[in-house]
Chains A and B, each alone.
Chain A
Amino acid sequence: EDQVTQSPEALRLQEGESSSLNCSYTVSGLRGLFWYRQDPGKGPEFLFTLYSAGEEKEKERLKATLTKKESFLHITAPKPEDSATYLCAVRPSGGYQKVTFGIGTKLQVIP
């Protein structure tokens, strides 16, 4: 069964203090790995899709990277508005649509 493990579960950063969130995964053939942002009481917001090891994607202060076993979400010089829960998810190959999510990393950026 597909598994996604995210660490740390919670992270507190000072504004401007860069860091990385980790997502380790086990899947029977990776079709795609996804990063989402979720604010309290809202649905997840799509950030990135990564398809193969070595791939990188960037959006503003966020950069996602992928290896064969894990993905990292690097946050450069975060701002308080980056505070949210960041979710990682995987979709297996084989034509299935089921996506398995991790429990997320709750990020708090302090001014």
Chain B
Amino acid sequence: DTGVSQDPRHKITKRGQNVTFRCDPISEHNRLYWYRQTLGQGPEFLTYFQNEAQLEKSRLLSDRFSAERPKGSFSTLEIQRTEQGDSAMYLCASSPQGASSYEQYFGPGTRLTVT
């Protein structure tokens, strides 16, 4: 398995536009996480899925953000009406169920720039 993949790797958009990012987790992992990371900061938790169910959402996830994992495999994160403050690296991670569930494996991230 090649690990967690994210697409696109980079996205430049104008303020007010909508953007959507995709994450493909490691195939046997049923847990999926989204994080946001700005320069010089650690990743900030956004949301968590177990299979297709979204079980946790951070207060950081405003009404403009929505995430889905329709079939319990890949996930999408959509940001509507982007603002300059949304510029960040968006990271996806996955983990297996069971004893190793604490080990999160991160993708390379999608870097969003809002102009």
Same complex for A and B? Answer: yes
Question: With A43-B93, A97-B33, A98-B56 given, is the CB distance from A104 to B105 under 8 Å?
Answer: no
Give the docked Cα–Cα distance between A41 and B106 (Å). Answer: 12
Q: Is the interface of A mostly helix, strand, loop or mixed?
A: strand
Q: Find the B residue at minimum CB distance from A51.
A: B102
| Complex partner residue of A43 from B31, B103, B106, CB under 8 angstroms | B106
Interface residues on B, range: 20 to 34
What residues of B have a CB within 8 angstroms of the CB of A44 in the complex?
43, 91, 106
Residues in B whose Cβ lies below 8 Å from that of A100? 45
Asked if B91 contacts A43 (CB within 8 A), the reply is yes
A69 on the B face (CB < 8 A):
no
Partner of B109, one of A34, A42, A101: A42
Cα A76 to Cα B115 in complex, Å, equals 44
Residues on B with beta carbons closer than 8 Å to the beta carbon of A103: 40-42
Residues of B within 8 A of A36 (CB): 106
Residues of B participating in the A interface, judged by any CB pair closer than 8 Å:
4, 31, 33, 40-45, 48, 55-56, 58, 91, 93, 102-109
| The 4 A-B residue pairs with the shortest CB-CB distance in the complex, in nearest-first order | A101-B42, A43-B106, A97-B48, A98-B45
